[in-house]
Chains A and B, each alone.
Chain A
Amino acid sequence: KNQVEQSPQSLIILEGKNCTLQCNYTVSPFSNLRWYKQDTGRGPVSLTIMTFSENTKSNGRYTATLDADTKQSSLHITASQLSDSASYICVVGLSGGSYIPTFGRGTSLIVHP
């Protein structure tokens, strides 16, 4: 069964601190992995995408890593800001003609001043 597991479920950090969110997946055949940011009451917005051959991708203060051998990904947020408070969702896409990705449940991040 294709699954995406994220940890921790929720995280509280102080403004300015760094944090790392984890994603483990069992999706096969793998095509790509995205991290989305979802603000409360809004739709998800893509932060990064990585394919099988990529092991790191940055977008400003967000850096995603991918280990396709262990089927793990992480999202590192540097120097957190209050606006980083959101849910971060890991999404894995399939290859071979299926256009329905598998979503994780998300990690809820709260950044306190």
Chain B
Amino acid sequence: DTGVSQNPRHKITKRGQNVTFRCDPISEHNRLYWYRQTLGQGPEFLTYFQNEAQLEKSRLLSDRFSAERPKGSFSTLEIQRTEQGDSAMYLCASSLARRGNDNEQFFGPGTRLTVL
């Protein structure tokens, strides 16, 4: 399977714990995006990387959230001191930025986080 993969698919944690999610993009894609989606809503942008550089972060990304893409391949999203309001689906997408390319984003299956 050469699509975007995310792990774990589901995570249940207690309030106050830290969690980390992983995203493996399509191998040749240089851009990687993180989104958060709650029930009945569209995805909300959190942050994106071009190669290993984090180029933009949403105001939604509080100090408890941190994302890395150390080698320009896979990425991790960590949430510290989780709160019940963090419960959501966390989606990762990747795209290939190239002249004349429409920058289509390919999404992974998401990680469903439940904070008890």
- Give Cα A36 to B48, complex, Å: 20
Give the number of chain B interface residues (Cβ < 8 Å). 25
CB pair B44 A103 closer than 8 Å: yes
Nearest chain B CB to A63 CB, angstrom units: 19
Chain A residues bordering chain B, tally (CB within 8 A): 23
Which residues from B are CB-within-8-Å of A105?
A: 40-42
Residues of A within 8 A of B33 (CB): 100
Please measure, in the bound complex, the distance between the C-alpha atom of A42 and the C-alpha atom of B43, giving whole angstroms. 12
Interface of A is mostly: strand
CB-CB < 8 A to B91: which residues of A?
Answer: 43-44
- Residue in contact with B109 in the complex, picked from A42, A49, A89, A100, CB distance below 8 Å: A42
Question: Beta-carbon contacts of A94-111 to B below 8 Å, as 1s and 0s?
Answer: 000001110111101000
- Check B110–A42 contact: CB distance below 8 A: yes
Chain A residues closer than 8 Å to B103, beta-carbon distance = 93, 99
CB distance from A84 to the nearest CB of B (A): 19
A91 to B97, CA, bound (A): 18
Name the B residues within 8 Å of A44 (CB-CB).
43, 91, 107
- Complex interface bits, B12-45 against A, C-beta within 8 A gives 1, otherwise 0: 0000000000000000000101000000111111
A26 within 8 A of B: no
Q: Is the CB of A34 within 8 A of B104?
A: yes
Which B residues form the contact surface with A (CB < 8 A)? 4, 31, 33, 40-45, 48, 56, 91, 93, 95, 97, 102-110, 112
Complex A-B: 9 CB contacts under 8 Å:
A41-B109, A41-B112, A43-B107, A46-B104, A46-B105, A51-B102, A101-B105, A103-B42, A108-B40
